[in-house]
């Protein structure tokens, strides 16, 4: 699978992965506009400000999306989502591994971090399997019911 920059052609498909406002806000945060159109979705992702990538299968099937940016000295992973048709097949591990490696190199940092909703047990389990651990966040966490996780090599 190949991690590549997100393109406009990917946006409409990613938009279709969310069936309602609750799903969108669980993924993108409560300030993400809903309902959305192509332009508001693209603007909400802050594609001009945040490193944004898609994971493509060998046949160019869009498998996943994710972003990274520098947050408190860490390569912070955000808005991670796997194509609903392929969830549960380990795609998230490929996405996080490739996104983390690229982010750490780009941002010159060794530690990765992410937020996850406390009720999202399957995501927490997947992140722990990849070496992430629950950690204290040095500031107030921006969302209620949110956990902070980090991963440092070694």
CA angle 68, 71, 75 (to 5 degrees): 45
Question: Within 1-153, where are the H helices?
Answer: 8-15, 21-28, 38-45, 91-107, 121-129
Q: How far apart are alpha carbons 123 and 29 in whole angstroms?
A: 16
Q: How far apart are alpha carbons 129 and 93 in whole angstroms?
A: 9
Q: Over the stretch 95-139, which tens digit does the pLDDT of each residue have?
A: 999 999 999 999 999 999 999 999 999 999 999 999 999 999 988
Checking if the pLDDT of 142 tops 80, the result is no
pTM confidence score: 0.95
Q: Over the stretch 40-84, which tens digit does the pLDDT of each residue have?
A: 999 999 999 999 999 999 999 999 999 999 999 999 999 999 999
Token pair for 139: 């500031």
């Amino acid at each position: 699978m190949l991690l590549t920059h997100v393109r406009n052609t990917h946006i409409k498909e990613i938009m279709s992965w969310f069936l309602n406002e609750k799903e969108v806000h669980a993924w993108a945060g409560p300030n993400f506009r809903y309902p959305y159109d192509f332009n508001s979705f693209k603007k909400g992702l802050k594609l001009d400000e945040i490193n944004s990538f898609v994971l493509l299968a060998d046949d160019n099937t869009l498998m996943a999306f994710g972003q990274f940016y520098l947050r408190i000295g860490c390569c912070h992973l955000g808005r991670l989502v796997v194509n609903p048709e392929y969830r549960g097949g380990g795609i998230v591990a490929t996405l996080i591994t490739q996104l983390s490696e690229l982010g750490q190199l780009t941002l010159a940092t060794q530690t990765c971090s992410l937020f996850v909703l406390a009720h999202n047990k399957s995501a927490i389990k997947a992140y722990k399997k990849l070496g992430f651990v629950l950690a204290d966040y040095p500031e107030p966490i921006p969302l209620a019911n949110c956990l902070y996780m980090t991963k440092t090599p070694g």
